[in-house]
Structure 1
Amino acid sequence: MIETFAVVLGIAMIAGGIVVIRHRYWPPAPDEEPREDVAEYIAMMVGVLYALVLGLSMVSVWETRSSVKEHVQAEASAAHQIRLLAAGLPAAQAEKTRTAVDTYVHHVVTAEWPETEDGQPSGRTGWGLLDEVRAATQLPDNATPTQSATLQEALAQLSTLDDARRGREADASNPLSPMLWFGLIVGGVLTVAFMFMFGVTRSFTHVAMVMGLTALITFTVLLVYQLNQPFNGIFAVNDTPFSRYFPGV
């Protein structure tokens, strides 16, 4: 967080310094008509268009983060439910199911999560362990009606687990579109640059306008950048759901 504010302040001070240099070495001509109103109108129009890009980017990254959070919660909850349902199975199959679930969750927390935080794909090991969970929840020939009902519920939870895992992997590989990044960067530069193109005669007013606008744009772009990393950074979704349901794994 401190680094983010340091970057925002640094860029804003650079922009303010450019304004001071401009007014010191290239001041408006004495007979030049002040155009604060024109500058304000142009900046407003450019700002409105840029706000559309900012809004679209913010909605996109926020929805991705929310999707990640939902998928992680659903995956951990489904794994927990399967482990609980194992109590209604024959003893040998119940132990096999619990072991398979614990192994899967341990792999997700200790192996896959660090890889995802580093931006690496999860690989196929997790899917193989999920197949072992599926194999452990097969209906035995001598199953009682109660055990059959338990297994059906376990298979339904397994389907939820499969979908949630698939969604989590899709979210991890779904960053913000390069076109939106292009619009964010170029639009921000243009928005600030327009503030230098008009004859604002009062240097303090000009410095305040440029620094404020630059700080706001920089902060927003950094916010989008942080939200675009759902498994890393300030707003990262962590593995707390797994740790809560499986404290000993």
Structure 2
Amino acid sequence: MALLETLVVVFAVAVVAALAVVVKTRLFPLREGEEPREDVAEYISMMVSVFYALVLGLCLVSVWDNRATADDRVQTEASALHQTYLLADALPAAQRQPVRDAARAYAAHVVEVEWPRMAEREPLGTEGWALLDRLRTAGELTGRATLSQQIAAQEVLAQLGYVDDARRGRETAAGESLSVVLWTGLIIGGVLTVAFMFLFGLERNTTHVILVMGLSGFIAFTVLLIYQLDAPFGATLGVAPDPFTRYFPL
């Protein structure tokens, strides 16, 4: 709906501008012998290029920031989970192995189940949260414990809080994508930028052919780069599950 409304507004503005040009040429036609001014066309072409560069920069910064945030969340989640695994050594003997097993099960689920889902932008489901609850339950003291064991149990809960927050951030980052409005601006702006090269002062020589090829190729490369970065957990430029596999080899 937002895309449709945006296209309607853009089309309406374009129509108003076209009508303004028609009215101007009818009410104030060129005098006899007066040449049309090419600098107006050059100015329009320059402004389109400038605005398109701004849109490209905005989109690139947006997708890069989302990917960087996703990477930070993954690092934090894996590190806190590993700290929980290590803290199991300070817990009562009966709880050490259950905490380790629960931490490994959670890491394996994230890597083997959730990562492919995030790459395809599918819902992660509730299995991961259930495993995290299992880990939290395994780390809670159920009987008498020494002071050091109580401190370790409190630290386990604190680390699991970091895991919880980082997991929520990871889920959010996996579901975010570039606005459809911005994608529309990228495509339309790219077409207009290249099209103006054909409309104004383009000659059939080697220099102009190379310039058109270079500009078109660079725009295509930038748009494809944005497309790949728009999938923060994609196969090409997405965040890999290396922090989890480094701490918990599968």
Fold conserved between structures, TM > 0.5: yes
Partner-residue secondary structure (3-state), 1:85: helix
- CA distance in structure 1 between the aligned counterparts of 2:99 and 2:72, rounded to whole angstroms: 25
User: Any idea what the Cα deviations from partners look like across 1:117-163, whole Å, max 9, x if unmatched?
Assistant: 22212111000000101111113331211111111111110000001
What does residue 133 of structure 1 align with? 135
- Take 1:36 and 1:207, find their aligned partners in 2: how far apart are those partners? 22
- Residue 174 of structure 2: aligned partner: 172
- The answer for the alignment partner of 1:73 in structure 2 is 75
Aligned mates of 1:125, 1:212 — CA distance in 2: 49
Aligned residue number for residue 227 of structure 2: 225
SS in 1 for 2:198: coil
Give me the whole-angstrom Cα distance separating, in 1, the residues matched to 2:161 and 2:118: 22
Aligned twin of 2:159: 157
Residue 61 of structure 1 corresponds to which residue in structure 2? 63
Aligned to 1:105: 107
Q: Kindly provide the amino acid, as one letter, of the partner of residue 202 in structure 2.
A: V
- Give the TM-score normalised by structure 2: 0.81
Q: Is the 8 A contact 1:81 1:157 kept in 2?
A: yes
Match of 1:87 among 73, 89, 109: 89
- Identify the residue that residue 45 of structure 2 maps to in structure 1: 43
Q: Are 2:241 and 1:244 equivalent residues in the alignment?
A: no
Q: C-alpha distance in 1, partners of 2:54/2:141?
A: 54
| Count of residue correspondences | 216
Q: Percent identity?
A: 57
Show the counterpart of 1:195.
Answer: 197
Query: Partner residue of 1:119?
Result: 121
Structure 2: distance between partners of 1:180 and 1:128: 37
Shift of 1:54: 0.5
Alignment of 1:211 with 2:205, yes or no, is no
Deviations 1:201-233 (A, max 9, x none): 454443233222111111110010011111113
Distance in 1 (CA, whole Å) between partners of 2:109 and 2:235 is 22
Shift of 1:45: 1.8
Deviations 1:146-191 (A, max 9, x none): 1111111111100000011110010000011111111101111111
Structure 2 distance, partners of 1:44, 1:105, is 52
User: Could you tell me which residue of structure 2 aligns to residue 8 of structure 1?
Assistant: none
Letter of the 2:131 partner, please give it: L
Counterpart residue type for residue 138 of structure 1 = E
Alignment partner, residue 18 of structure 2: none
The answer to whether the 8 A contact 1:36-1:200 is kept is: no
What runs of 5+ residues in structure 1 fail to find an aligned partner? Answer: 1-32
Contact 1:61-1:176 at 8 Å conserved across structures: yes
Gaps of 5+ in 2: 1-34
* TM-score, normalisation: structure 1: 0.81
**Is the 1:50–1:188 Cα contact (8 Å) retained in structure 2?**
yes
